[in-house]
Structure 1
């Protein structure tokens, strides 16, 4: 899995632009949370590039870059949770999940609709 580190608020505008041609995933991860680590590990183990049709995957370290998480909540009109995955299409969050609801198959289904 090829993560793109989300470390600057300016990247959120890039994500919005990129999502007009292909879905974009944002994985918000807390390095201090065992549930977050489990969800991240499960996603990485199950990820298959050929099934995800070129989805760009952004990784946000919530501990180091918490202000970016607040900006994500504001821009995409989602409540902040941790861990959390958002699927962005055409500049909008079309699906999000948190904790153990973060499932590869559910993300894949939404991404290919």
Structure 2
């Protein structure tokens, strides 16, 4: 399984964003109270479990618990906040994003491959 780490501070986000200059970064924004987000989170985890060698860093942001981080991400990569939301960042810029029911293992695989 590819490793995912939760980020909870602006400093952690800034470090992750800087890292995207040399390695792709996948950001999953998750609402812990939303059933649609729970489904998307399952799909995200399926991708992680089935693509152990994915060449990217993966981070999780819980949007309710870490609202300032979620807002900063939206500002830094110029993507309107939604949840659930997945954003692929390369060289500190949004490369691809999807929300809600568009977040599937198959969709992630197609983009990441």
Q: TM-score over 0.5 for the alignment? A: yes
- Residue 20 (structure 1) shift: 1.5
Matched, 1:111 2:93: no
Distance 1:111 1:10 in 2: 26
Deviation of the 1:46 alpha carbon: 3.0
Question: What RMSD in Å do the two structures reach over aligned CA positions?
Answer: 1.4
Conservation of the 8 A alpha-carbon contact between 2:29 and 2:83: yes
Does the CA-based 8 Å contact 1:23-1:111 persist in structure 2? no
**Bigger mean CA deviation after superposition, 40-49 or 100-109:** 100-109
Question: Partners in 2 of 1:93 and 1:103 — Cα distance?
Answer: 18
1:2-42 C-alpha deviation (Å, 9 max, x unpaired): 22111011122212221111111110000000000011012
Which position in structure 2 is the counterpart of 1:63? 64
TM norm structure 2: 0.88
Show structure 1 runs of 4+ deviating over 2 A: 103-112
SS in 1 for 2:10: coil
**Counterpart position of 2:35:** 34
Equivalent residues in 2 for 1:1-113, closer than 5 Å:
1=1, 2-47=3-48, 48-50=51-53, 52-53=54-55, 55-112=56-113
